[in-house]
């Protein structure tokens, strides 16, 4: 899923591990949707189809836009033409080719809301590019006109998002309203990030010499950028004739993972680059890369390693080739393009085969008492410990708190080959010193620890 925090896992009692990585290849079950290969939303490079944390998919096939839900493929709500995005509550963003507007609709899809238009010039189509869990939308208004503008929609209000460039594309928004995308500056694509109205060029020092595009962001603030940056050799003029290298535009694109202040090159399956499309909460990335013979295969990047999805066994089908991977949710489900033994292409959902995780043996908190609401003294570090090393895809541990005074993050994942993972408990000011129970669950086993939240006035 492009940018949403896992919400449904907090409601279930346990979750088994899923595996995908260097030492053990995850096995998958494949579901072919019967919609044919994806049809691109016109005038965009949107990486659809998309999948949410419920395993629901929106996309566009030869027969039009579709919604995959509960194992069944159906037409989009209200017969709209294009599926654009779906959030973790099942809200869809769709596009009507008859009106040129984007619409939002929530289960049971009995009504829809027109995102509206920006009345800044002659109106064209208004295409939503991303949707977060609160129903906030980013997109492009007036697409067919010379004054196409990126927009932000929230609670019935649509506003210009900036910058003033007529070629700005904001493509993904997370639940903290961090936005990523790119704009075309003199026909050079520049990856950009925006938060609270502040726009950041992700590499301003070399803004004119190569291209970059940011396509997806998760709720940890990690995002993926595709870039064709390479290094060219130049020779200084006489008398020095010194040989030096400088950044320049290369023939191939390569995916990058931005995490805080670090930038990690994800590599490629061959020597001809690749393109990343989706990222989940844990920083797992999917995309497409050319292999040695020049054809494209879908890839999965997890725990520091890129693998060809075709190196992972399909449990319930044979002869499929995964050509491209578009999106991944927090449970490791992947929506991709596959080809069967006859070469017929179809959108498929890959669901990780289930394995029994190592047992959860303990949950500890340090410190066990904190001053509620006092910055610098109001947090405790939780540590979960497994009975043995996590498999290559890690083990997801669900977390809960008995009181809103102590907030825990989304489920934490024990990394591949590790036995522990840490998380932060953040407290607010209580009325009277309060004991809060923090719990962690894996595979039906729950461990708990008590955190005392001290009232500074007591």
Distances (CA, A) of 308 to 6, 25, 224, 302: 25, 10, 18, 11
Task: Going residue by residue through the chain, which has 458 residues, state the pLDDT in tens, using 9 for 90 and above.
Answer: 444 333 333 222 223 334 333 335 688 999 999 999 998 886 666 768 999 999 999 999 988 899 999 999 999 999 898 999 999 999 999 999 888 899 999 999 999 999 988 877 667 788 999 999 999 999 988 776 767 788 999 999 998 887 655 578 899 999 999 999 998 776 789 899 998 888 888 887 777 889 999 999 999 999 999 999 999 998 888 888 899 898 999 999 999 999 999 999 999 999 999 999 999 999 999 999 999 998 999 999 998 899 999 999 899 989 999 999 999 999 899 999 999 999 999 999 999 887 778 999 999 999 999 999 888 899 999 999 999 998 867 899 999 999 999 999 879 999 888 999 999 999 999 999 999 999 999 988 999 999 999 998 77
Domain range 360-454, its CATH number among 1.10.10.10, 3.30.70.360, 2.60.40.10, 3.30.70.380:
2.60.40.10
pLDDT at 303: 83
**Cis peptide leading into 344, omega within 30 of 0?**
no
Asked if the domains 8-352 and 360-454 are classified in one and the same CATH topology, the answer is no
pLDDT at 45: 64
Nearby residues of 169 by Cβ (< 8 Å), 6 or more positions away:
44, 129, 140, 150, 181, 182, 183
Query: In what side-by-side order are the strands of the sheet with 360-366?
Result: 360-366, 379-386, 420-427, 406-407
Which tokens hold the place of 400? 């809960």
Query: In what side-by-side order are the strands of the sheet with 262-265?
Result: 212-217, 223-235, 243-259, 262-265
Cα 326 from Cα 181, distance rounded (Å): 16
Burial of 70 per CB tally in 10 Å (0-12, 13-18, 19+):
exposed
Judge contact between 95 and 115, C-beta under 8 A: no
Which tokens hold the place of 84? 């654009």
User: Model's pTM, two decimal places?
Assistant: 0.86
pLDDT at 206: 74
Domain definitions of the chain by residue range: 8-352, 360-454
pLDDT at 155: 92
pLDDT at 24: 58
What fold, for 8-352?
A: Neuraminidase (2.120.10)
Cα 285 from Cα 266, distance rounded (Å): 9
pLDDT at 98: 87
* SS3 assignment for the chain: CCCCCCCHHHHCCCCCECCCCCCCCCCEEEEECCCCCCCCCCCCCCCCCEECCCCCEEEEECCEEEEEECCEEEECHHHCCEEEEECCCCCEEEECCCCCCEEEECCCCCCCEECCCCCCCCCCCCEEEEECCCCCEEEEECCCCCCCEEEEEECCEEEECCCCCCCEEEEEECCCCCEEEEEEECCEEEEEEEECCEEEECCHHHCCCCCEEEEEECCCCCEEEEEEEEEEEEECCCCCCCEEEEEEEEEEEEEEEEECCEEEECCCCCCCCEEEEEECCCCCEEEEEECCCCCEEEEEEECCEEEEHHHCCECCCCCCEEEEEEEECCCCCEEEEEECCCCCEEEEEEEECCECCCCEEEEEEECCEEECCCCCCCEEEEEEEECCCCCCCCEEEEEEECCCCEECCCCEEECCCCCEEEEEEEECCCCCCEEEEEEEEECCEEEEEEEEEECCCC
């Amino acid at each position: 899923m492009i940018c949403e925090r896992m919400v449904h896992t907090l409601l279930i009692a346990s979750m088994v591990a899923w595996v995908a990585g260097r030492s053990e290849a995850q096995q998958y079950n494949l579901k072919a949707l019967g919609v044919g290969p994806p049809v691109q939303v016109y005038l965009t490079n949107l990486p659809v189809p998309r999948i949410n944390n419920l395993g629901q998919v929106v996309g566009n096939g030869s027969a039009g836009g579709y919604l995959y839900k509960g194992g069944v493929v159906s037409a989009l709500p209200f017969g709209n033409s294009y599926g654009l995005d779906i959030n973790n509550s099942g809200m869809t963003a769709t596009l009507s080719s008859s009106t040129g507007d984007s619409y939002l609709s929530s289960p049971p899809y009995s009504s829809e809301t027109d995102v509206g238009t920006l009345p800044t010039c002659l109106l064209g189509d208004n295409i939503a590019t991303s949707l977060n869990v609160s129903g906030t939308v980013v997109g492009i208004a007036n697409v067919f006109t010379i004054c196409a503008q990126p927009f932000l929609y929230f609670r019935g209000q649509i506003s210009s998002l900036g910058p003033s460039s007529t070629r700005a594309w904001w493509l993904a928004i997370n639940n903290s309203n961090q936005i990523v995308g790119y704009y075309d500056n003199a026909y050079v694509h520049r990856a950009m990030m925006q938060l609270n109205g502040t726009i950041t060029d992700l590499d301003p020092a070399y803004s004119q010499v190569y291209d970059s595009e940011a396509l997806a962001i998760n709720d940890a603030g990690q995002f993926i950028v595709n870039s064709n940056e390479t290094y060219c050799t130049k020779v200084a003029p006489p008398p020095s004739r010194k040989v030096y290298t400088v950044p320049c535009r290369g023939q191939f694109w390569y995916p990058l993972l931005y995490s805080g202040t670090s930038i990690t090159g994800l590599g490629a399956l061959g020597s001809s680059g690749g393109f990343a499309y989706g990222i989940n909460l844990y920083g797992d990335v999917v995309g497409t890369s050319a292999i040695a013979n020049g054809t494209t295969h879908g890839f999965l990047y997890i725990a520091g390693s890129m693998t060809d999805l075709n190196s992972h066994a399909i449990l319930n089908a044979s002869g499929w080739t995964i050509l491209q991977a578009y999106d991944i949710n927090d449970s490791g489900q992947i929506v991709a393009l596959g080809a069967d033994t006859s070469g017929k292409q179809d959108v498929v959902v890959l669901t990780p085969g289930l394995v029994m995780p190592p047992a959860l043996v303990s949950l500890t908190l340090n410190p066990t008492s904190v001053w509620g609401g006092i910055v610098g003294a109001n947090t405790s570090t939780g540590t979960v410990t497994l009975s043995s090393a996590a498999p290559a895809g890690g083990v997801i541990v669900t977390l809960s708190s008995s009181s809103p005074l102590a907030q825990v993050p989304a489920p934490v994942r024990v990394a591949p080959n590790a036995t522990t993972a840490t998380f932060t408990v953040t407290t607010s000011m209580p009325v009277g010193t309060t004991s809060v129970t923090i719990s962690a669950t894996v595979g039906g086993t729950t461990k708990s620890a008590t955190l005392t939240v001290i009232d500074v006035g007591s």
